[in-house]
Amino acid sequence: MPEGDSVYRATARLHQALAGQTLLSSDFRVPALATTDLTDYSVHEVVPAGKHLLMRLRPPAAGSSGFAAKPLTLHSHLLMEGRWDLYADNERWKKPAHTARVVLKTPTVTAVGFDIAQVRLVPTEQEDDLIGHLGPDLLGADWDPELAADNLRRNPRQGIGQALLDQRIMAGVGNVYRCEILFLRRLHPLVEVGQIADLPAVVNLAHRLLTINKDRPRRVTTGQERTRKPLWVYGRAGKPCLRCGGPIAMLKIPSTPEGAERDCYWCPHCQPAV
């Protein structure tokens, strides 16, 4: 699943290429939108909301679609495999055509959404139905560290390793940042939220890490941009800890109480159980 900084960069790239452009054609390769035609709609802006990507569209002067010519939002969630690419006319796509789920053509560029598991189109006024459940966005204008900390406190028995992936608490932390935040704060992944003395420090670290990485092509949490080891623990099971030299371990934690398990990397020496 993408991190908030990845979605931030993707939306910035799409916004730069598409904002102000009128769609010459649209091709939705998902059953629910297969007959939808957004020709002559214009792209107003492309913005992130946590891990969600929102493309806001303005209608033509005289709408002909079934959406009664009102502003629309094309919502997509990249999940594990999804991505948006931009192509010039006649440029060969980098992924197979059968994996494309959305194709939007403008006079200057074609945007193709590949392997996107969630594609929805709603009136912009109903965006909240899709993203209203999210906590404050770590990279958004609505970022509110006090609210994020309060959201964490509401379930003191929840393990911090699970809580950090709960987008209802704060939006944007994925598995990489979850592991790195826990290591940097020396927190065992299973320690209960209520046992953590300084929750604001956890929240502020999450915000700081995503902010410093949002414009980087390479994610770095160790502070060493040119190193071969840009991350402290993520993906390093069995390798020596960069701080103490002991072996990095891995355990599986559900992303939410009802969610699938995700690998969580941690250092048993630097992150002892309470």
What is the C-alpha to C-alpha distance for residues 200 and 197, in angstroms, rounded to an integer? Answer: 9
Q: Are 189 and 161 in contact (CB under 8 A)?
A: yes
Considering 9, 51, 214, 219, which one is annotated as catalytic? 51
Gap between the Cα atoms of 144 and 273, Å rounded: 30
Query: Is 2 one of the annotated active-site residues of the chain?
Result: yes
Residue 206 exposed, middle or buried by CB count within 10 Å (0-12, 13-18, 19+): buried
Considering the candidates 56, 178, 214, 262, report the single residue annotated as catalytic. Answer: 262
3 is catalytic: yes
Tally: H helices and E strands in the chain = 6, 10
Nearest Cα residue to 244 out of 177, 186, 176, 191: 186
Q: Which of 3, 56, 101, 178 is catalytic?
A: 3
Q: What is the spatial distance between Cα 253 and Cα 164, in angstroms, rounded to a whole number?
A: 11
Name the catalytic one among 2, 59, 189, 230.
Answer: 2
Quote the CA–CA distance of 4 and 52 in Å, as a whole number: 8
- Is 51 annotated as catalytic? yes
Report the catalytic residues. 2-3, 51, 262
